[in-house]
Structure 1
Amino acid sequence: MPAVPGAESFAHDGSTGIGVVLSHGFTGSPISMRAWAEHLVAAGHSVRLPLLPGHGTTWQEMNRTTWPQWYGAVEAAFTELRGSCHTVFACGLSMGGALVLRLAEEHGDDLAGVVVVNPSVMSLRKDVKVVSVLARLVPSVAAIGNDIAKPGVSEQAYTRTPLRALASLAKLWRTVRRDLPRVTQPALVLHSAVDHVVEPENSAVVLRGISSTDVTEVVLENSYHVATLDHDAQVIFDRSAEFIGRVRAERAGDLV
């Protein structure tokens, strides 16, 4: 099924030798990440922003996909960049944060660093704890979408939450949390002071669980969940570009 206009995958080959994979979140699309991708393109980097399977079309289509397929799209983008770039980073929003953390767990030093924004690795909601049972009874529930403080901005996410897909997301969460100690790469963790979708405990779990010694935490004071489209978007873009430049220089032995 073709993606809705604006939700298509995005790719660009740059000149710096640095590649960046970006991953959008659950029920979202590259719409939420396109401005970030274009900021990295302007810095000269190669960028891959895949549309994850089941996203950008209909929630019914998403219910026919599972987390290994979403991860597979991110991993394929990473592999492609590894073939043409000497250094590759990964950035993710919400569930995209979980996917790039999984990339870090599986690929070690081949991945230079990770940037996560409001990463989703768990939920305290009681209904999510029984989602595997609920998914057998009903196909979807109302969604919490467009959690953005900035007026007039939409991520164009699904208006329903597909429950079979959510049950698969819960399996991804467990897998990522189990292996967080395997994340040793430099990490930049940005999270909103107010988030109506992903509880703040998520970022705390990530920060507490990873083994990275180079960790930077940034609190986004003026944005809700979809911070990449919110008031603090430029903070995310600038801090991630600075992080990528610094880590690349340190890996090359040219400390800045």
Structure 2
Amino acid sequence: MALPEDEIREHPGVDDADDDLDGRSHAQGLTQLIRRSLGGLGTFAKRLLLGIVLLVVALIAIRAYLSTQGPPLRPWQTIVPVEPDAADIAKMDWRAYTQAEAAMFDDVHRKLQAKLDAHDRTPLNRYFDASLTSPLRFERDWNRSFVFEPRGEPRGVAVMLHGLTDSPYSMRSLAELYRARGFLVLVPRLPGHGTVPAGLTRAGREEWNAVVDMTMREAQRRAGTERPIHLVGYSNGAALALLHEMRWIERGQRSDVDRIVLLSPMIEVNRFARYAGLAGVPAFFTRYAKSAWLDLLPEYNPFKYNSFPVRAARESYLVTADLQRSLDTVSRQNRLAQLPPVLAFQSVVDDTVSARAVMGRLFDALPDNGSELVLFDVNRSRVMAPMLRAAATDWARDVLRRPRTYTLTVLGVASQDDATVLARSRAAHAPAITAQPIGMSYPGEVYSLSHVALPFADDDPLYGLHPAGQGGLRLGAVAVRGERNALVVSQDALSRLGSNPFHAYLLARVGEVIGEERR
């Protein structure tokens, strides 16, 4: 199924003088609107409101000016794939969706190759087919939706949802575990992902929700009435998974899954995301198109975007807002007891989502249904502890002090002088804490896990700290030294932990959950 030529659009260019004229007209209209709005207010209120408005206008003007600096947008930041909208996806099944996906990938690839210039054809540009980071160098393109079929008759179905700016690759390890345990696994690519970052300037939460619903229909079809269904989500995918279930229950229906597994769930995001849309206001004028982006970075990661549009930040916040509203509604309806058990894994420190909100806003609201939260603590060894920020890490010291309605497990060092990792657990309503060694020590060079680390094994060939195999791209093991402000890539991005040293423990715990299902 080929897409017509106009199915991929680009940001149009306009004359700068026209931009200025439009800008002056827009400013004059805004001034008149402000004057009318202030007419009925007192003097102090007028001054206060006017000051706030002027501050916002000044910030937007600064944002517009800064967006004109630096290199121009590249093709992967201007070519916007047109995917099916939410209404179209609602009419599709899995086969129709993946067929449309394949046609869109082919058309995007053709358009990109025609637009690349000599400066884009580098060994680290994922969109240059001969580069080291091209998805074509792998045994399959993990940016696309995939299905894992078990040997023999499936004994269950698992649906797995990846995170924001991510791709189905992040669910591969868990998908392999489920397949090995006899489950059929469906991993959809959420719209806007896996192709070019510009895809996230159009696709958003309505399309993501539609794909989740479509995939769950496919799971129900394949599971029938006898096989269990597990819903697994990572980051934004975890929020979408919970939102699907809450809306299902909110409508008075019985939950359509038997177990939920979450990694780094996006329950609450940075407060900036709520107002991220303001940062993109100057992009209304084409001259300031770059203000539609929070990050404009080289695309060297084959299965994840580095560039990040304003709209994606706004949409991620709206997902969490929708989730909280639905959670509150279900709670008022006294239907939370219909939610299946939840097993979640979360790093104590997380720069993307609020780790404390996972406990306070989600787990503390859950029914007494056998749920469990696993926290990966920071490295509190004698060497590392003094370098940790107390405001970010101390909250997890006493979380096991009192019993809760769910099991709480914390993985951390045995003591400041003993790096042996213990899983300290307090079962729901239990009077005491148990401690069990997991058979490994906290890596001396690691001070904490990160938001992006949880789904990936330590030996993941791409993101692992100790990647398996010889040669190839090893993003997780990059260790570069030099002077500051010399790299086009953020030094923080290079040093951020990309894999989970405790991944084997995570898989074992998920394996226990799979084993609890009837055979």
**TM > 0.5 between the two?**
yes
For 1:210 and 1:83, locate their aligned partners in 2 and report how far apart those are by CA, in whole Å. 28
Q: Could you say which residue in structure 1 is the equivalent of 2:251?
A: none
* 2:449 match: 223
Q: Following the alignment from structure 1 to structure 2, what is the Cα–Cα distance between the partners of residues 143 and 232?
A: 32
The amino acid across from 1:73 in the alignment is: V
Name the residue aligned to 2:407: none
**Identity value in percent:** 24
1:177 aligns with 2:324: yes
Match of residue 281 from structure 2? 136
Cα distance change of structure 1 residues 74 and 234 upon mapping to structure 2, 3 Å threshold: farther
Match of 2:143 in 1: 7
Give, in angstroms, the shift of residue 155 of structure 1: 7.8
Aligned to 2:357, which of 193, 198, 202?
Answer: 202
Residue 160 of structure 1, aligned match among 303, 307, 310? 307
- The 1:33–1:225 alpha-carbon spacing in structure 2 relative to 1, beyond 3 Å, is same
Partner AA of 2:267 in structure 1: V
Partner of residue 506 from structure 2, selected from 232, 236, 242: 236
Q: Does 1:102 align with 2:250?
A: no
Q: Which residue of 2 aligns with 1:112?
A: 258
Instruction: Please give the alpha-carbon distance, in whole angstroms, between the structure 2 residues aligned to 1:170 and 1:244.
Output: 31
Cα distance in 1 for residues equivalent to 2:161 and 2:193: 12
Pick 1 or 2: higher relative contact order, CA cutoff 8 A, min separation 6. Answer: 1
Find out whether 1:79 has 2:217 as its counterpart: yes
Q: Note the C-alpha offset of 1:57.
A: 1.1
SS in 2 for 1:8: coil
Following superposition, the deviation at residue 101 of structure 1 comes to 0.4
Residue 176 of structure 1, CA deviation: 0.6
Aligned-pair CA distance for 1:102: 1.3
**Distance (whole Å) between structure 2 residues aligned to residue 94 and residue 212 of structure 1:** 24
Cα distance in structure 2, aligned partners of 1:63 and 1:143: 13
What is the TM-score with the length of structure 1 in the denominator? 0.85
Match of 1:90 in 2: 231
**Bigger mean CA deviation after superposition, 76-85 or 199-208:** 199-208
Structure 1: runs of 5 or more not aligned: 145-153
How many angstroms apart in 1 are the aligned matches of 2:296 and 2:354? 16
Deviation at 1:233, TM superposition (A): 2.4
Partner SS, residue 65 of structure 1: coil
The aligned length equals 239
What TM-score does the superposition give when structure 2 sets the normalisation length? 0.43
Change beyond 3 A, Cα 1:194–1:115: same
1:128 shift after superposition = 1.6
Equivalent in 122, 146, 171 of residue 268 of structure 2: 122
Tell me, yes or no, if the aligned pair for 1:191 and 1:218 is still in contact at 8 Å. Answer: yes
What whole-Å deviation, never above 9, does each CA across 1:8-60 have from its counterpart, x for those lacking one?
11102333431100010011001111111111111110100111100011111
SS of the residue aligned with 1:110? coil
- The answer on whether the counterparts of 1:135 and 1:167 sit within 8 Å (CA) in structure 2 is no
Residue type at the aligned position of 1:241:
G
Q: State how far apart, in whole Å, the 2-side matches of 1:155 and 1:139 are.
A: 23
- Is the contact made by 1:27 and 1:157 (CA closer than 8 Å) also made in structure 2? yes
Q: Supply the distance in 2 between the matched residues of 1:209 and 1:191 (Cα, whole angstroms).
A: 17
Query: What secondary structure sits across from 2:322 in the alignment?
Result: helix
Higher-Rg member (1/2): 2
Distance 1:199 1:242 in 2: 27
Which residue identity does 2:449 align to in structure 1?
S
Q: Hey, what does 2:60 align to over in structure 1?
A: none
Matched, 1:188 2:343: yes
In structure 1, how many angstroms separate the alpha carbons of the residues matched to 2:149 and 2:368? Answer: 29
5+ residue gaps, structure 2: 1-103, 110-134, 136-140, 249-253, 283-290, 378-447, 457-498
Aligned pair in 2 of structure 1 residues 210, 133: CA closer, same or farther (>3 Å)? farther
Q: Could you tell me how far 1:174 is from its partner in structure 2?
A: 0.8
Q: Give 1:178 shift.
A: 1.6
Q: Is structure 2 residue 336 aligned with structure 1 residue 66?
A: no
CA contact (8 A) 2:230 2:258 kept: yes
Shift of 1:223: 2.8
Contact kept, 8 Å, 1:223 with 1:232, in 2: the verdict is no
What secondary structure does 1:90 align onto? strand
1:202 Cα deviation from its structure 2 partner: 3.2
* Residue 72 of structure 1: how far off its partner (Å): 1.6
